């Protein structure tokens, strides 16, 4: 028997145009899933689909702003019209923000909340009814900031704390419908976003900041998107059928070993 086989399953992945979401989409397609790539950036979503199709995988792209409920409802309805149902929903779409409570404006707070909290709410709400018929798996991307204090990440930490507790609530409410709901809490992962963030916020000090951020994980480096994707694959596969209502740190020792 082939482990972690997703053949015949339909997977919907938000934020799959780049970074962790893209790595998850590619891994799921390689294991046989039909992947629906949802991303605010249409060009990036199409690039992910092209990469998957080039490797003989099945994938389709949809532009989506997860913070807009009507858009989410329409996209999920369109996917359901083409499939027998959604087997896997992975919520990767989200944004970052730097600032303490003093430097975070109400607009900052609302922007982060709309993307990171309401975005996941909208997607789970739109998919849950169809999942109730045949069961399914929901995986949310939380963060180490869900569990520990991170300096100058007030709004971001608020949003990721909500992701964790929404995950637990959905896991509890839908366990009897054969729906499993878990979340992953990565530490820093090296993506295009991280490179852009460092370049925009620390011009001229890119290498210094990259090394500093890498060293904040006791293991001595940032994670790789592919490493997160492998954990996502396990949690969304039948091999994890006994796992629900759990948060999985994947953090190079950040939570337990930083002291």
What is the model's pTM? Answer: 0.96
**Domain residue spans of the chain:** 10-186+224-248, 188-222
- Looking up tokens 């295009």 gives 192
CB-CB contact of 133 with 18 (8 Å): no
Query: Within a 10 A sphere around the Cβ of 203, how many other Cβ atoms?
Result: 8
Which positions are catalytic?
A: 156
| pLDDT over 90 (residue 45) | yes
Residue 94 has pLDDT above 70, yes or no: yes
For residue 105 the two structure tokens come to 């404006």
CATH no., domain 10-186+224-248: 3.40.50.720
* Per-residue pLDDT tens digits for 136-192: 999 999 999 999 999 999 999 999 999 999 999 999 999 999 999 999 999 999 998
Task: Output the pLDDT for position 258.
Answer: 84
Residues 251-255 have a mean pLDDT of 95
Give the tens place of pLDDT for each residue, 228-242. 999 999 999 999 999
Answer yes or no: is pLDDT of 57 > 90: yes
The residue behind tokens 């891994």 is 27
Rounded mean pLDDT of 102-121?
98
Q: What is the pLDDT of residue 200?
A: 86
pLDDT > 90: percent of the chain: 94
Q: For residue 259, give both structure tokens.
A: 């002291």
Q: What is the mean pLDDT of residues 33-62?
A: 98
Whether the predicted pLDDT of 259 surpasses 70: no
Query: CB-based contacts of 153: which residues, under 8 Å, 6+ apart?
Result: 97, 98, 99, 145
Express the helix, strand and coil content of the chain in percent, nearest 5 each.
50, 15, 30
Residue 245 has pLDDT above 90, yes or no: yes
Q: What is the pLDDT of residues 202-229, one digit of tens each?
A: 899 999 999 999 999 999 999 999 999 9
Average pLDDT over the chain, rounded to whole?
96
- pLDDT of 95 over the 80 cut: yes
Res 201: pLDDT: 81
- Determine the straight-line distance between the first and last CA of the chain, rounded to whole angstroms: 43
Per the DSSP assignment, residues forming a β-bridge with 88 are 11, 137
Question: What per-residue confidence (pLDDT) applies to 1?
Answer: 63
Q: What is the pLDDT of residue 34?
A: 98
pLDDT digits (tens, 9 = 90+) for 8-17: 999 999 999 9
Question: Span 74-102, mean pLDDT?
Answer: 96
């Amino acid at each position: 028997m082939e482990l972690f086989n997703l053949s015949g399953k339909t997977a919907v992945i938000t934020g799959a145009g780049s970074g962790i979401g893209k790595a998850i989409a590619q891994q799921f397609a390689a294991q046989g899933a039909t992947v629906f790539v949802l991303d605010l950036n249409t060009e990036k979503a199409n690039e992910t689909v092209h990469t998957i199709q080039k490797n003989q995988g099945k994938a389709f792209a949809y532009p989506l702003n997860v913070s807009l409920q009507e858009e989410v409802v329409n996209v999920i309805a369109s996917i359901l019209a083409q499939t027998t149902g959604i087997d896997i929903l992975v919520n990767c779409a989200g944004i970052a923000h730097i600032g303490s409570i003093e430097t975070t404006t109400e607009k900052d707070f609302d922007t982060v909340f709309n993307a990171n909290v309401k975005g996941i709410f909208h997607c789970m709400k739109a998919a849950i009814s169809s999942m109730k018929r045949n069961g399914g798996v929901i995986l949310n991307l939380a963060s180490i900031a869900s569990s520990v204090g991170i300096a100058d990440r007030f709004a971001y930490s608020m949003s990721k704390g909500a992701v964790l507790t929404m995950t637990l609530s959905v896991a509890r409410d839908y366990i009897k419908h054969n729906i499993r709901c878990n979340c992953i809490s990565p530490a820093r992962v090296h993506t295009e976003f991280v490179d852009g963030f460092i370049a925009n916020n620390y011009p001229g000090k890119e290498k210094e900041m990259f090394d500093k951020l890498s060293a904040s994980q006791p293991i001595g480096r940032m994670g790789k998107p592919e490493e997160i994707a492998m954990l996502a694959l396990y949690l969304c596969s039948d091999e994890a059928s006994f796992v629900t209502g759990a948060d999985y740190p994947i953090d190079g020792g950040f939570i337990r070993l930083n002291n």
